[in-house]
A and B are shown apart, each in its own frame.
Chain A
Amino acid sequence: MTVLSDIYYVCWREMKRFWQHKPRILVVVFQPLVWLVLMGNMMSGLTSNPFASRMLGVERYIDFMTPGVMIMTALFGGIFSGVSLLWDRRIGFLSKMLVAPVSRVAIPVGKMLATAMQGAIQVAVIALVALFLGVKFKTGLGGFLCLLFIAALFCFAMAGVSLSVAIWVKTIEGLHPILNFFTMPMVFSSNAIFPEAAMPSWLRVVSAWNPLSYAVTAMRALIVEGWAWGKILSGLMVTLLFAFAMVLVATCQFKRSLG
């Protein structure tokens, strides 16, 4: 299967670039630290209010916040994947791959896979930081691996969204504002940082259509509730479906852009 080999090499390149970039590694470690420490502390007063505590379903806000920070990291990690494709096109590297007998499917999929792996690394770092800050993982190592899988899968799907938009927009300058426009509503129309119970009813409807909500619900269940199979499975299924759809869209878009 040369497709697998091609995916491997496309992915290998992205991962090499990832490790090569030292400042990025610092960001990977410090960003979640800052988010968790700042947000966790700032909002920690919330849970001393019994009403709010019940709404959040946790005793400490940081328990609620941890999966939220994880999913946002996966989201932001994935959403800029398209930039690398446009960059490759601008410097001529894309042509170089296309002249070689590289499978056309492997180029977007390899990039998505690399993005997902990078997302998983970042989420794992967050988990370590959270452990350090006293967050307890109810489901232990197995649950953590399951959570990591869901986050990576979500990151993979978001990379697909990003690539599809990038192919459509064609320039890096045009891509950035569109992606920024995407991400914030996606976070705020989900239960990543605010509980569903606190939402107005219309937002709850939007949230029910937002795949991010399902992923984060499952991840939150794994951390604070335990093996709540209903939430976990629906999160897994929705994210899988989302990822699968985005592979199709991104590869079709990419092939079509080649004419």
Chain B
Amino acid sequence: MLFRSAAVSCGGEKVGAIIEVEGLTKVYARGIVAVKEVTFAVEEGEIFGFLGPNGAGKSTTIMMLTTLIKPTAGRAFVAGFDVVREPGRVRLCIGYVSQELAVDDNLSGRDNLFLQAGFYHLPRGEARARCDELLKMMGLYERADDLVETYSGGMRKRLDIACGLIHRPKVLFLDEPTVGLDTQTRHQIWGYIKALREKYGMTIFMTTHYMEEADALCDRIAIIDRGVIKAVGAPAALKDRLGGDVVTLRFKEAPAEKIREAVAALEGLAGVRGVKHQDGDCFIVARGGGELIPQIFQVLQPLGVGVERVTLKRPSLDDVYLYYTGRELRDETGSKEEAMRARMLMRRVRGA
């Protein structure tokens, strides 16, 4: 991988990859290896997802990329700047929405945003204009002057995301943007994330442990477990690696040799990778199972083999995820303060 020198990269104009990470490692106190020699690159304008179970090292990676903690080893460049040597320049290019709901409950929504604008040294007039714009975009304009205390979990999250956008960052880091939210709110947040990329061409780096979220949003995902990247690729490509769709047929009563003929004919179809007949059920592994079904009927009809039932199962990202990370739940090590933070988050998400 090529690293650009700091001199060339002014806000990342000549950038191929807007995030470049090589051998990034974080070892916490007591020798806990949270992230282990992680290497990847994110292209400009991409939505890149980190998918992994609790304690996989997702937040730790984000915190290293956002200059909040220093890596133990390895290098990382964001928008062309080294996160260790030029943290100040990195900070100007990035927005960060943490896993916690980091909004101030004792201020109004507008004040939260205005404060954030102040932290980025925006002039007052500009700050006010952008606050209004973001409040409208996030559907919070009517409630802008109410205390955040009175907001629902979804409203707080939207406000938190708005805070991360006030300085129009090139790269937005979203750490578990929908954790604890109900389905409607989650879909709403997905809509906002997609819109950001479409409208502003923003690069988005997000983490999640919801498979369907990664599937719906991300151009590419990396599956991370115990601090190690297990697989990187587009969701479809990752699913493909597991084989393909599975079409299950149940034949009507028919003589055995007819069924054998039918199976042989099915094996001959384009895209079919394997056919297995077992106890009257016929499993067909293939690419593009949906398109295959009409062809199956075309082949079976002249043979006189009837079909009682058809089911199609696409491998979900679930299967991919479980394949790479295993099934068992993880014990988590962490300090008491971390546990308090997690409890606090759940309370705040529920809008208590």
Contacts and interface: CB of A to CB of B under 8 A. Distances in A.
Nearest to B99: A92
Interface string A156-195: 0000000000000011000000000000000000000000
A6 B119 contact: yes
Given A20-B147, A90-B337, A90-B341, A101 B121 contact: yes
Interface in A1-50: 2, 5-6, 8-9, 12-13, 16-17, 20-21
A126 to B, nearest CB: 25
A204 B239 CA distance: 79
B119 A101 contact: yes
Contact of B102 (A6, A20, A93, A259): A93
Name the prevailing secondary structure of the A interface residues. helix
B163 A96 contact: yes
B37 interface: no
A14 B147 CA distance: 15
Contacts of B92: 101
B121 to A, nearest CB: 6
B115 A13 contact: yes
Interface string B246-285: 0000000000000000000000000000000000000000
B138 to A, nearest CB: 17
B207 interface: no
A100 B91 contact: yes
Contacts of A16: 106-107, 111
A259 B69 contact: yes
A2 B121 contact: yes
B348 interface: yes
A13 B68 contact: no
A135 B119 CA distance: 44
A141 interface: no
Contacts of A20: 106-107, 147
B88 interface: yes
B127 to A, nearest CB: 11
| Max chain B Cβ within 10 angstroms of own Cβ: one of A5, A9, A101 | A101
Given A13-B107, A93-B102, A99 B66 contact: yes
A121 interface: no
Given A91-B101, A91-B348, A99 B94 contact: yes
A208 interface: no
B115 A9 contact: yes
A95 B98 contact: yes
A102 interface: yes
B329 interface: no
A93 to B, nearest CB: 5
B116 interface: yes
A233 interface: no
B352 interface: no
A96 B103 CA distance: 9
A148 to B, nearest CB: 26
A100 B88 CA distance: 9
A95 B63 CA distance: 9
A128 interface: no
Nearest to B112: A13
A98 interface: yes
Contacts of B147: 20
Nearest to B100: A92
Contacts of B321: none
B4 interface: no
B283 to A, nearest CB: 48
Interface in A85-126: 90-93, 95-102
Interface in B93-145: 94, 96, 98-104, 106-107, 111, 115-116, 118-121
Interface of A: 2, 5-6, 8-9, 12-13, 16-17, 20-21, 90-93, 95-102, 170-171, 259
13 contacts: A12-B118, A20-B106, A90-B341, A90-B344, A92-B341, A93-B103, A95-B63, A95-B68, A99-B66, A100-B91, A100-B120, A101-B120, A171-B336
